[in-house]
Structure 1
Amino acid sequence: MTFRLRLLAAALALSAGLAQAVTLRVANQGDAMSMDPHSLNESLQLTFTNNVYEPLVARDKSLGLAPGLAVKWSQPSPTVWRFELRRNVRFHDGTPFTADDVVFSFNRAAGDGSDMKSYTSGFKEVRKVADHVVEIETTAPFPILPDVITNLFVMSRKWCEENKATVPVDRRKGIENTASFKANGTGPYRLKERQPGQRTVLVRHAGYWDKVEGNVTEVVFTPIGNAATRVAALLSGEVDLMEPVPLQDVDRIQANPAYQVVQGPELRTIFLGMDQKRDELLYSNVKGRNPFKDRRVRQAVYQAIDIESIRSRVMRGAATPTALMVAPGIKGFVPELNKRLPYDPEAARRLLAEAGYPNGFEVAMNCPNDRYVNDGAICQAIAANLARVGLKINLQAETKVTYFPKILRRDTSFYLLGWTPGTYDSHNALTALMASPNDKGQGQFNLGSYSNPKLDELTLKIQGEVDQPRRNAMIREAFELHAADVGHIPLHQQALAWAMKKTVQAVQLADNQMPYKWISVK
């Protein structure tokens, strides 16, 4: 049977079961900003596009590695990984999936405009060995490479070339192309409708290569920024599942017998970053110098923040304060280092005076108000804390649609960000957030350009180290260096909270991914 006949047969079978068609209506506080899977390395963006596109190596329900578009992988040499690709897979437009698409996609992800460079920074070459075999050669041994590529999604080379989408959508420059609004993946769902900021509709792909566990045939995704409106939409029956749940509404929803709230720890760390590169700080009343280059100023900011008050009042207990840039559950986490500097406004004032700012100074702070749990309120609390030690914070809280392009251009002096290591390994946070930025993708999200050559050296060694005790010791040393420098200011790990009708069965993962193929509606 030809592919077209198989696809027709599958479509007929699907249409024959339309009486059992199931629509899932999902609401989130923000929108996926693009359909381009290489345009933004952000969890909501990746979890949404992962329903349409797929990686070579996927994750299972316990976040372990699982075959995706590659059926198996091996390491012929310390710097070469070989992947045998799945056969008889086609993109949504019917184009066969081959090694050419993998080589094209990984080069695209490593190219200009891509937000995924931090995953490819250790790559030397991606090459085709046969139609269904590819090799990735790295600049140094890279034992965790299969973990690293789980968020690198494969696009159709033919489709991208035909639609003039061979380079990623650059969120920093606001440049859009066909891949912003259309999609052509190999995943279980295909894009039916895209109205940015309003709604996006996915439908089950009849020709998907794998069995889908859930019964959802259509997903209607709606961004609802206002928390009260989002809850009202759930309780009125307009949506079936929403996240995040406003913390003040958890008990009310739980008390309704028709609904449930699913909660759990998240692997995301919320932290503050500061510009440590410019000689003169932007958006500040300090001229001719940059206060954040002085470790004493960074420590003053740290010790002026009442993290317990943020945990109990702003986050209503749904947060775990942290001193590290990674969460428990991430490989390399060091429990004994997870001790914050004490909250001490007097010490903060002394440090500012020692650094030459006895009366404090003024600076703008960038913050999203629709990305993390209570993100706007967290920044307001921090601004109030810092005001008590003489730092006047001009808070610029805005939708992530404008926030991310701004901070990714490094057009910021002081900012709040959240990070879940996509590899579930500390090396990811080190190379993406803490290592010195370079043009290969290292330090791509080190937006304040913190730099310590010794930490950079350790990060490279950690990448290739196969002896686990030795590797853990180097991770510990790198974290100690970063903490001593006050390179960033870790705040907390937020808790996950999804609310849904009791007729909805979903799998909640600690990375807050939401694969629709695992969701069923009774």
Structure 2
Amino acid sequence: MASTFTRRNFLRISSMSLAGAYLASCSVGGGGQSEAEQALRAAFSQPINDLDPHGPSSVDESTLLAGRLIYDTLVRRDGDRLVPSVATAWEQSEPTTWVLTLRDDVTFHDGTPLTARDVKASLERVRDAGTAQSALWTSVTDVEVTGDHELRLVTDEPLGTVPVNLTLLFILPADKMNADGFFRKPVGSGPFAVESFTPSDVLELVATEHWSGKPALPKATLPYLPETSSQITALRTGDLSVLWPVPPDQVRELEGADGVRLETVPSYAYYFTWFNCGREPFTDPRVRRAMWRSVDIATIVKNLFGDGAERMTAPIPSTVFGHAEQEPYAYDPDAARRDLAEAGFGDGFRTSLMWFSGTGPLADGLAQAMISDWAKVGITVEPQNIEKAEWLQRLNAKDFDLELQINTVTTGDADFTLGRLYDSAADRMGYANPELDTILREAHSVSDQDRRGELYADACRIIWDDAVGIFPAALISTYGLRSSVKGFEPVPSNQPDLRGVTLET
């Protein structure tokens, strides 16, 4: 029998001339076609650079967005539940064995049937790829095909996260997925097939016959418009049908716009600042707590983001299974100064904060606001706004004092973030806590969701109390839609399902 999963609370831009060229080429007035006669034109705020769902970009939101449309997964999320997709059932027959049963009517876009052999090859490929998703599957020691539509996963220890991880396992054709050039025009089994793809420019999709029914849309076009002003203009004029997420500081530009409606949903994305807990003075939790208390988080989030974010109450957003609300750190500069003095830094100290501007909406403003507040208690923080490639290299090498970034809990489950980033073995920010390791590893292994919730509540408390980082804002995703768009459902993952969307005049 298929197991189900519940979580708490269902509640996340080329130049102007290139953007202008795009707008001119697809102008409604210029083409002489009504909006309903054209493809849905849906623009995400990030470029789609890669269609390999197992590769280096496997957890990039843009790659995941495309993957949801082109490929199938074994399990999919429906609101707060995990429901069958290509897998009709998943059962933990033994503590270290999962049995998966597949549909027998799934075909790839080239007409070949999808079988257990394709699932095996896809799982082994992502497991061995050495990418961010690989960590989800390192416990899998054997994938045994027991029939055309059945297979067994054997793990070296109990792995209770298999069902939720299967929502990220995109199935590719075993005989073709490693061929040169495959991902320039890949073959999947999802509801849309790739018509053409130009990385960082546009992805053109056509509807295809699918086991769940052919999409209502004949085509979907996903262009990348790098300039925010071009995005807003394109939505207002009807050259875009959907735009998301609308930056918080641009929402007012669309409020009340003719033919445009806005819909919001709390997302899986959030800002955080990590301390390098292995580097002085951040080896001392008193210093870390002092730096948190010296930042007026509530005021910064309200003034900077408005309705585009909410203040966090745990190291993961409230939309995520495993969230457990903690007492927010009160803004108290005097207490922060006392903590610093007790830790031997009564005269303050100098440090640095690194980030890259493209990390998310209003990142520069958030960084500067925190730096300003730290200066008030004697902590001089050098701003290091650097290129993404340098930021990533330094992050992976732990060559930073503090760093600011956005993270997305892609699966909607705490294991994806807490279990993957805060276990001592991961060594992502120099923090090690054996008690936390024990909690996270048990939560990773057990299947009982109530027990997992209890364990993640303990993990949230430890990470929060030890101030491993500062967790200021969970983002609210605002979707801008033309009034002609029907059947579109905003989702916290920023990866909407377009199968039921229609365009009306």
TM-score by length of 2: 0.84
**Deviation, structure 1 residue 55:** 1.2
Contact 1:299/1:486 (8 A) holds in 2: yes
Counterparts of 1:270 and 1:473, CA distance in 2: 24
Aligned: 1:495 with 2:496: no
1:197 to 200, 214, 219: 200
Aligned: 1:109 with 2:126: yes
- In 2 relative to 1, CA 299–419 (structure 1 residues): closer, same or farther, beyond 3 Å? same
Partner of residue 343, structure 1: 331
- In 2 relative to 1, CA 411–51 (structure 1 residues): closer, same or farther, beyond 3 Å? farther
2:153 to 136, 142, 150: 136
**Deviation, structure 1 residue 407:** 3.5
- In 2 relative to 1, CA 476–162 (structure 1 residues): closer, same or farther, beyond 3 Å? closer
- In 2 relative to 1, CA 510–464 (structure 1 residues): closer, same or farther, beyond 3 Å? same
Aligned: 1:517 with 2:499: yes
Q: Cα deviations across residues 333-370 of structure 1 (Å, max 9, x unaligned)?
A: 223xx211111223333433444444444444333433
Q: Cα deviations across residues 51-76 of structure 1 (Å, max 9, x unaligned)?
A: 1122111122x242222221222222
Counterparts of 1:192 and 1:408, CA distance in 2: 36
- In 2 relative to 1, CA 461–90 (structure 1 residues): closer, same or farther, beyond 3 Å? same
- In 2 relative to 1, CA 78–389 (structure 1 residues): closer, same or farther, beyond 3 Å? same
- In 2 relative to 1, CA 188–466 (structure 1 residues): closer, same or farther, beyond 3 Å? closer
**Deviation, structure 1 residue 452:** 0.8
Structure 1: runs of 5+ lacking an equivalent:
1-18, 164-177, 282-289, 438-442
Partner of residue 47, structure 2: 31
- In 2 relative to 1, CA 56–216 (structure 1 residues): closer, same or farther, beyond 3 Å? same
Q: Cα deviations across residues 82-119 of structure 1 (Å, max 9, x unaligned)?
A: 11122243323444322222122112212243220232
Aligned: 1:98 with 2:115: yes
Paired letter, 1:432: R
Equivalenced residues, count: 467
2:212 to 200, 210, 225: 210
- In 2 relative to 1, CA 67–471 (structure 1 residues): closer, same or farther, beyond 3 Å? closer
1:54 to 72, 81, 106: 72
What secondary structure, in the 3-state scheme, does the structure 2 residue paired with 1:65 have? Answer: strand
Counterparts of 1:403 and 1:199, CA distance in 2: 27
What are the equivalent positions in structure 2 for 1:156-167 lying under 5 Å apart? Answer: 156-163=173-180
Aligned: 1:68 with 2:78: no
Aligned: 1:292 with 2:294: no
Contact 1:325/1:429 (8 A) holds in 2: no
Contact 1:105/1:153 (8 A) holds in 2: yes
**Deviation, structure 1 residue 255:** 0.9
Counterparts of 1:312 and 1:134, CA distance in 2: 50
Contact 1:503/1:521 (8 A) holds in 2: yes
2:295 to 302, 305, 309: 305
- In 2 relative to 1, CA 243–401 (structure 1 residues): closer, same or farther, beyond 3 Å? farther
**Deviation, structure 1 residue 263:** 1.2
What secondary structure, in the 3-state scheme, does the structure 2 residue paired with 1:224 have? Answer: coil
The runs of at least 4 consecutive aligned structure 1 residues that moved more than 6 Å come to: none
**Deviation, structure 1 residue 242:** 0.8
- In 2 relative to 1, CA 388–95 (structure 1 residues): closer, same or farther, beyond 3 Å? farther
Aligned: 1:414 with 2:415: no
Paired letter, 1:266: S
What secondary structure, in the 3-state scheme, does the structure 1 residue paired with 2:335 have? Answer: helix
Counterparts of 1:82 and 1:107, CA distance in 2: 16
Partner of residue 6, structure 1: none
Contact 1:29/1:371 (8 A) holds in 2: no
**Deviation, structure 1 residue 211:** 0.5
Partner of residue 3, structure 1: none
Q: Cα deviations across residues 215-255 of structure 1 (Å, max 9, x unaligned)?
A: 32222222233322321221133211111213233244231
- In 2 relative to 1, CA 451–97 (structure 1 residues): closer, same or farther, beyond 3 Å? same
Paired letter, 1:59: R
Paired letter, 1:238: D
Contact 2:36/2:484 (8 A) holds in 1: no
**Deviation, structure 1 residue 497:** 0.4
- In 2 relative to 1, CA 252–77 (structure 1 residues): closer, same or farther, beyond 3 Å? same
What secondary structure, in the 3-state scheme, does the structure 2 residue paired with 1:81 have? Answer: strand
Q: Cα deviations across residues 169-225 of structure 1 (Å, max 9, x unaligned)?
A: xxxxxxxxx466442221112223322222222222x34333135x32222222233
Aligned: 1:85 with 2:99: no
**Deviation, structure 1 residue 77:** 1.7
**Deviation, structure 1 residue 36:** 1.2
- In 2 relative to 1, CA 125–184 (structure 1 residues): closer, same or farther, beyond 3 Å? same
- In 2 relative to 1, CA 208–380 (structure 1 residues): closer, same or farther, beyond 3 Å? same
Contact 1:29/1:226 (8 A) holds in 2: no
CA RMSD of aligned residues (A): 2.7
Partner of residue 376, structure 2: 388
**Deviation, structure 1 residue 307:** 0.8
**Deviation, structure 1 residue 418:** 3.0
Counterparts of 2:458 and 2:229, CA distance in 1: 45
Counterparts of 1:235 and 1:399, CA distance in 2: 32
What are the equivalent positions in structure 2 for 1:166-185 lying under 5 Å apart? Answer: 178=181, 181-185=184-188
Partner of residue 436, structure 1: 424
- In 2 relative to 1, CA 217–404 (structure 1 residues): closer, same or farther, beyond 3 Å? farther
Partner of residue 123, structure 1: 140
What secondary structure, in the 3-state scheme, does the structure 1 residue paired with 2:72 have? Answer: coil
Contact 2:176/2:182 (8 A) holds in 1: no
Q: Cα deviations across residues 386-421 of structure 1 (Å, max 9, x unaligned)?
A: 233333334344676775566456554422233343
1:458 to 439, 442, 460: 439
- In 2 relative to 1, CA 201–406 (structure 1 residues): closer, same or farther, beyond 3 Å? farther
Counterparts of 1:322 and 1:83, CA distance in 2: 37
What are the equivalent positions in structure 2 for 1:209-358 lying under 5 Å apart? Answer: 209-213=211-215, 215-277=216-278, 290-335=280-325, 338-358=326-346
Q: Cα deviations across residues 405-464 of structure 1 (Å, max 9, x unaligned)?
A: 664565544222333434433333321222123xxxxx4xx6314221111111121233
Identical residues among aligned pairs (%) = 25
Counterparts of 2:63 and 2:384, CA distance in 1: 23
Structure 2: runs of 5+ lacking an equivalent:
1-34
Counterparts of 1:301 and 1:244, CA distance in 2: 31
TM-score by length of 1: 0.81
Counterparts of 1:225 and 1:393, CA distance in 2: 30
